[in-house]
Amino acid sequence: MYINEVSKKCSLTKKAIDYYEKQGLVHPKIEKNGYRNYSNEDISLLNEIAVLRKLGLGVQEIKKIIVSSNKSSALSKYKYLVDIRMQRIIEQKNCFDRLIENYNINEMKDYVSRYLDYSFTIKEQKLSTFWIISIFQTNWKSI
């Protein structure tokens, strides 16, 4: 299937498909006339990429998921990151509410240090540990 058809089928622009190809995410067969012929596997992969991009993942993250032998585990990491961002936004909103109620920067400085800086650093460290353990477990099973 050629790029015009693939573009329609995957709801991606030709420019996006070219970009994903240049990034090494998809590898269509190049015909003698120079046209790129996309297989059904390429189309499935482009659909997967399109969904993951709409979820806000970058190309590097998508590469990790695509090559992962345990996609659920890989996706769990990114879901946890979204959870952390959501919690941080809720805490930021709470900080704004407290400041609106009583504009006291000294009090807020302590609150921000305690609830935003410290707690989210801990959560991010846990995420790193979780990611390392899941990679180890995945690789251990394949040995």
pLDDT the model gives residue 52: 96
Question: How many domains would you assign to the chain?
Answer: 2
Q: Which of 54-68, 74-88, 116-130 has the lowest mean pLDDT?
A: 116-130
pLDDT, tens digit, 9 for 90 and up, residues 51-68: 999 999 999 999 999 999
Tell me the residue range of the domain where 124 lies.
68-141
* Domain endpoint, select from 21, 47, 63: 63
**The residue type at 11:** S
Indicate if the pLDDT at residue 86 is higher than 50.
Answer: yes
Task: Kindly state whether residues 76 and 133 are assigned to the same domain.
Answer: yes
**Confidence class for position 136, pLDDT limits 50, 70, 90:** very low
Task: Kindly state whether residues 103 and 59 are assigned to the same domain.
Answer: no
pLDDT the model gives residue 89: 87
Task: Kindly state whether residues 54 and 82 are assigned to the same domain.
Answer: no
